[in-house]
Structure 1
């Protein structure tokens, strides 16, 4: 049947995605959760193909355990884009509970495994949505030019977990009503959608990881009287006078350390005074620099993009259109004086 090879094709695509993610830069510690997520998706896809394509029934005990590892790893991947206090990392071991619980249910009460997986996937989807509830600014360890894309990836990953829960419910009902006659088809489609979605979102989010940086300045107390204005003035000085906006690896967390102001205060000040998120606020400075380069020099659009702090052309073009309503090439053509 035509659906049998699909899990193996998905596994191959995921391996290609993993290679593409690691090819541009040397593997770094920050990429490990995303690389592990893609590897788990690829291995799970292969096991799905063996179980339903070649009827290796012994793997029916392996699949639910592997599936239970997926939501905690998705959450851990996106949490790596958020600066956590020292005490917050102590509870990470609790995320080992889902696979251990599924193993216990397989031994003691197999009939409850499907229901437990549905609750698990929906629960972690809600945890992901809560993680990004404040928008791109919540991902304060993501580079500003990738924060919006990483936040969209977070929302897609949460949706993928919910879709997986719906497919699990469909498989459960299929076994109840038709003794699993359509289970193989459902599993193959679920595998194709869920694992590719998760693999793709891992790539997008991983690209927002910054390179390692040196130790920052210590915290300085901000004036309560005009705190928001003072914060924006300090940020403006860093971005313009020290040209920090050109740092392609700049994140909210790093900006906070350089300014000596907590990230939440920066986000709040920008939200209240500039009426935008921090990512858009920083990219406004970058687009202004790009416009200056395009207007005053013969530098190529790509060179201007890199010089102003962007790393990817898609993000640069999207932000350029947001600020100017034009493409970079069109803006350059209109902004330059016509020859007399």
Structure 2
């Protein structure tokens, strides 16, 4: 009977995620290149872990630790890209430094490798959690109908990286204070679980990102008026885009695109919507989408699956969640009630 290590099965899971990510977009994996690369790196790491702990090939250990450092960097680059109104440019290469440091330590100070990996994971985990301080509206490049899922994925990823670092600390203490008899099993199980959680989170967040684009802007966002007046003006301009232009029907709409249409910083738009309407931008836009969906449900015989796209949503799960949030019932139940 052929023995197949669990990490190899996990590799198939990651490859399946890549296929799904490719099918979600007309441009394939190139549209979400950072997250696609991240999931591919997770797949490669799971193969390495399978060789190390499934077949006890200790020769792959250097590859495992270097990949671990690289994965932390790629995770940051991918999620940080969702928070930026513009591409990160050439600064991304700086995040190769952790992996380069690990390579150097493998030659000159192997005893410090574990501590360095732990520090890298703690640092990037804390940095990711810092990104969550702005809430879902901080993910300006994430589709608005999936911004909440991407935000939760960001939170999970940050905690997962910190959890991996804590696990490394516990294992090191076990070796220092005891025999470390079960360290191997703990390491293998922790790595498999961490990769699974991180890969799933990356897939969810990656499917919610949208490519950068250029849009015709309205008059420049005023910068000299008082904050309350600015909030009112931005909110009013956004209302025009929603009602007259029906911008909410754009399934790929994100906060970055809205900000470019208003020629305002994304944070200015987010604050204006929060102060004037008391909600996030994603909730604000999705409210328009649900209003449109309710109109179509009550005035047409179109199937719900078609109404999902016509109202601006891209996935059934997001549509159902938002419909339940606004109306307290499912689309089918709402249509039946309206027609009684």
TM-score bracket for the superposition, by shorter chain length: over 0.9
Whole-angstrom CA distance in 1 between matches of 2:291 and 2:218: 30
User: 1:1-340 residue pairs with structure 2 within 5 A?
Assistant: 5-25=5-25, 26-84=27-85, 89-211=89-211, 213-217=213-217, 220-222=220-222, 224-225=225-226, 226-336=229-339, 338=340
Once the 2 structures are TM-superposed, how far is the Cα of residue 251 of structure 1 from its aligned partner?
A: 0.7
Once the 2 structures are TM-superposed, how far is the Cα of residue 211 of structure 1 from its aligned partner?
A: 4.8
> Where in structure 2 are there 5+ consecutive unaligned residues?
none
TM-score, length of structure 1 as denominator length? 0.93
Once the 2 structures are TM-superposed, how far is the Cα of residue 332 of structure 1 from its aligned partner?
A: 1.3
Whole-angstrom CA distance in 2 between matches of 1:44 and 1:224: 53
Whole-angstrom CA distance in 1 between matches of 2:217 and 2:233: 18
Whole-angstrom CA distance in 2 between matches of 1:9 and 1:188: 14
Assess if the C-alpha contact under 8 Å between 1:75 and 1:124 holds in 2: yes
Whole-angstrom CA distance in 2 between matches of 1:39 and 1:46: 11
Whole-angstrom CA distance in 2 between matches of 1:45 and 1:144: 32
Q: Which moved more, 1:16-25 or 1:165-174?
A: 165-174
Whole-angstrom CA distance in 2 between matches of 1:178 and 1:199: 33
Once the 2 structures are TM-superposed, how far is the Cα of residue 83 of structure 1 from its aligned partner?
A: 2.4
Q: Deviations over 1:106-145 (max 9, x none)?
A: 2222111111111110110111111221111111011100
**1:311 aligned counterpart, secondary structure:** coil
TM-score, length of structure 2 as denominator length? 0.93
Once the 2 structures are TM-superposed, how far is the Cα of residue 148 of structure 1 from its aligned partner?
A: 0.7
176 and 4 in structure 1: CA distance in 2 versus 1, 3 angstrom threshold: farther
Q: Deviations over 1:130-187 (max 9, x none)?
A: 1221111111011100111100010011111112112222332343345442233112
185 and 38 in structure 1: CA distance in 2 versus 1, 3 angstrom threshold: same
Once the 2 structures are TM-superposed, how far is the Cα of residue 93 of structure 1 from its aligned partner?
A: 2.3
234 and 28 in structure 1: CA distance in 2 versus 1, 3 angstrom threshold: farther
Alignment root-mean-square deviation, CA: 2.0
